[in-house]
């Protein structure tokens, strides 16, 4: 990726428009579900919001890249070349990020009151049967890593890097990534995780690396949550 910032054809403002679309899709679908989908199980509500955000991100990227400029998503770093290296970096990076985020989060929380559990955690804690875990894992291991990496690392990071340089690109995209989780007590660990994901993307130039790392990180977190929360697991 280094040395290629001049080749980024989209503007920074367009990156923020996609972010705005992501936020509107999340809040808008959440409001609609609260009005008309109250009978839906909690897992389905989360799934619908996640799908709405994914559609917004990929729809806007399709417009800015393919329709407006005639480019494919490979410009974001999608490549299936040297997959062994990509998987090794992705899985290894995900393990490292998980460990780092847990350690840093534990240190920070030792000085603060115990944070309230994230609402998404309810999908795991309240599971009564293995099938109840399908949607949480689909969201956490597939939809979220794919959507968030394609936007934050594939689209926002290169635009920030082109405009302000590598350091601002990595830290800026990571701050936005952390802020979008709306969890101030976990802001620093999430931002550090975002920095690691941006580093992996910049190092390999392949968005699949950060997607795999993100999915690995989330998978370990979810599996541990399942293990310690559910008696039947």
In this model, does residue 6 exceed pLDDT 70? no
**Cβ-Cβ contacts under 8 Å for 77 (sequence gap 6 or more):** 1, 153, 154, 201, 205, 206, 207, 208
Query: Helices (DSSP H) in 41-128: which residue ranges?
Result: 42-61, 68-69, 83-109, 121-125
All structural domains of the chain with their residue ranges: 5-73+84-229
Summarize pLDDT for 20-61 with one digit per residue, the tens: 999 999 999 999 999 998 899 989 999 999 999 999 999 999
Q: What is the number of H-type helices and E-type strands within the chain?
A: 11, 0
**Cβ-Cβ contacts under 8 Å for 224 (sequence gap 6 or more):** none
Please give the pLDDT value at position 114.
60
The pTM assigned to this predicted structure is: 0.92
Summarize pLDDT for 109-137 with one digit per residue, the tens: 777 766 556 777 778 888 888 888 999 99
Ranking 26-35, 84-93, 166-175, 179-188 by mean pLDDT, the lowest is 179-188
Confidence of residue 106 (pLDDT cuts 50, 70, 90): confident
Contact 50, 172 (CB under 8 A): no
In this model, does residue 5 exceed pLDDT 50? no
What count of other Cβ atoms lies within 10 Å of the Cβ of residue 83?
Answer: 13
């Amino acid at each position: 990726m280094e040395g290629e910032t001049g080749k980024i054809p989209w503007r920074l403002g367009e990156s923020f428009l996609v972010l705005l679309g992501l936020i509107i899709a999340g809040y808008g679908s959440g409001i609609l579900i609260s009005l008309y989908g109250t009978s839906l199980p909690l897992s389905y509500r989360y799934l619908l919001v996640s799908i709405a955000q994914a559609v917004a991100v990929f729809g806007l990227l399709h417009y800015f890249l393919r329709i407006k400029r005639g480019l494919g998503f490979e410009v974001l770093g999608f490549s299936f070349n040297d997959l062994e290296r990509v998987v090794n970096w992705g899985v290894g990076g995900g393990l490292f990020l998980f460990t780092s985020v847990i350690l840093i989060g534990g240190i920070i929380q030792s000085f603060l009151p115990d944070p309230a559990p994230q609402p998404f955690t309810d999908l795991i804690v309240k599971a009564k049967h293995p099938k109840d875990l399908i949607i949480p894992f689909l969201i956490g291991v597939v939809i979220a890593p794919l959507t968030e990496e394609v936007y934050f690392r594939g689209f926002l990071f290169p635009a920030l890097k082109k405009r302000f340089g590598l350091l601002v690109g990595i830290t800026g995209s990571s701050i936005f990534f952390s802020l979008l989780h709306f969890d101030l007590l976990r802001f620093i660990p999430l931002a550090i995780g975002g920095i690691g994901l941006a580093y992996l993307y910049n190092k390999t130039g392949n968005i699949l690396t950060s997607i795999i790392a993100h999915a690995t990180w989330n998978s370990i977190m979810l599996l541990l949550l399942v293990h310690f929360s559910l008696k039947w697991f």
